[in-house]
Chains A and B, each alone.
Chain A
Amino acid sequence: MSSTESPSSVRKVVVHLRATGDAPILKQAKFKEPCFINLYLNLCLDDYGGICEILGTDKFAKVIDFLRRQLHRETLFVYVNSAFSPNPDESVIDLYNNFGFDGKLVVNYACSMAWG
């Protein structure tokens, strides 16, 4: 849209992936993944999830697909802030700007419908 490249368009967003209910926990700190997601070790990795980085311009669908592949499950319910499921076409940077806090976007995943 704008010819001047705004910083947010090449920015990476830190996504915190948290398991909910009986969903498997992604315990690995490093994932062998294609280059569109770069992962780094988070020293504060808690028991409930993992951290990954994703390009702001990528769609939420990439987070969903990533989780499906990592967990080997087709059916997954993926939420932001334990609240709602964004449309897979939403860009990660918009979601981060609107719903992120403490420098990250919290994404919760469950094998069955967790929140309404």
Chain B
Amino acid sequence: MNMEALKYVWEGSIPLQIHIHESEVTTVPAPPPALVSLLQWYIPTGVLFDLLCAQPERPWNLTVHFRGYPGNILIPCEGEDSVKWSFINSLKEASYIISGNCKNVMNMSQPDQEELWRSVLNGNLDGYLRVSSKLKLGIIGDQHIAASHLNSLKSWQSIGETDTTGQVKTGRVPVRLYVWCVGEDFDDFEDAPHIDAWEKISYINQPVEIQGEGKCFTLGDALKFLLPEYFRENSLIDEESSEAKGENEQKGSSEDAGGNVRDKDGEGLCENENSFQSVEAEIKLVRIQGIEPKLEIPFSWVVSNLINPEHFLHICVCVKVPQLTPYAM
């Protein structure tokens, strides 16, 4: 079974450099870190990194505070148990979305549950697969991540055809979508406005149902479903030129007018005669597991290989929102 992509994802890591906030060092040596300020502890670290580092810096610098836990902003975290509880409940939620119930998770034996959790903590893919396969949460048939055709990732069409021979289970895919909007355009992600507050991120928890028996349901199709207001009706044509969309650096140069541009649903704007001219909205960036997949990739492949251990697919999207400028009267 070809596990190459899965292994890459599981072996991925982010180097961290952790600084204790100067004002809070009173003992030598400093006590072990208790929490990470202003980062939501229940969100996978990789997702936080993908969101907060537009141009990935390495190592990722974090400042730790030991005092003044902002209980009014962050929900409490009481150690590893809180994180495990959060993980298991997300797994149950995903199971509910996929199967309509979470009996399979609830019926897990204690040793199995512990082994599942340990394998996630330790990045142990084999251990994880051993236990998680018992849950039968495969959204896509196992054949999809097996088979020799995946050795060649060039021909998406052949994978699409496999999808239609009944090996793909049509089901609902649990998705957590994180969207942040920028007002200004940027060509280079070094110039991208940084997210300095969690409130600037829109979070949507919405499952995606893989549709279409006669054609391949792509990542772009899934995003169109999740963010309809940023996609035009004929966006399928635009996706042909999405090669540039996959690159996050050269956007400014790929000015092929229709290519990367999306119309914002401007009904409210257009009806008002004396009001505003909208510039089209644009999806600047899509990041999953630290990579920027091309939108024409089959969504089923994305799900099989880039899904998190709790069976949610976390997608980070950066959108440039239209600038509104009043008409000259």
Contacts and interface: CB of A to CB of B under 8 A. Distances in A.
B75 A86 contact: no
Contact of A87 (B86, B204, B319): B86
A28 interface: no
Contacts of B97: 98
Interface residues of A, number: 22
A89 B204 contact: no
Contacts of A40: none
Nearest to B91: A84
Given A87-B42, A116-B88, A116-B92, A1 B181 contact: yes
Interface string B161-205: 000000000000000000101000000000000000000001111
A86 B93 CA distance: 7
Contact of A85 (B89, B113, B204, B205): B89
Interface in A1-24: 1-4
Most buried by A among B89, B101, B269, B319: B89
Contacts, number: 61
A2 B90 contact: no
A90 interface: yes
Contact of A116 (B90, B105, B181, B206): B105
B326 to A, nearest CB: 15
B89 A94 contact: no
Interface in B91-121: 92-93, 96-97, 101-102, 105-106, 108, 113
A99 B202 CA distance: 20
B205 A1 contact: no
B96 A1 contact: no
A70 interface: no
Given A2-B229, A115-B106, A89 B40 contact: yes
Query: Chain A at the B interface: mostly helix, strand, loop or mixed?
Result: loop
A25 B187 CA distance: 58
Nearest to B40: A89
Given A2-B265, A87-B42, A94 B206 contact: yes
Contacts of A83: 92-93, 96, 101-102, 106
Interface string A69-110: 000000000000101111111110011011100000000000
Given A4-B229, A116-B106, A61 B75 contact: yes
Given A83-B102, A89-B75, A115-B106, A97 B92 contact: no
A30 to B, nearest CB: 28
Contact of B89 (A61, A84, A97, A98): A84
24 contacts: A1-B181, A1-B319, A2-B229, A81-B96, A83-B102, A83-B106, A84-B102, A85-B85, A85-B89, A86-B89, A86-B93, A87-B86, A89-B40, A90-B205, A94-B204, A94-B206, A97-B206, A98-B205, A98-B206, A98-B207, A99-B96, A116-B88, A116-B92, A116-B106
Would you list the 4 A-B pairs with minimal beta carbon distance, nearest first? A84-B92, A94-B205, A1-B202, A116-B106
Interface of B: 40, 42, 75, 85-86, 88-90, 92-93, 96-97, 101-102, 105-106, 108, 113, 179, 181, 202-207, 229, 264-265, 267-269, 319
Interface of A: 1-4, 61, 81, 83-91, 94-95, 97-99, 115-116
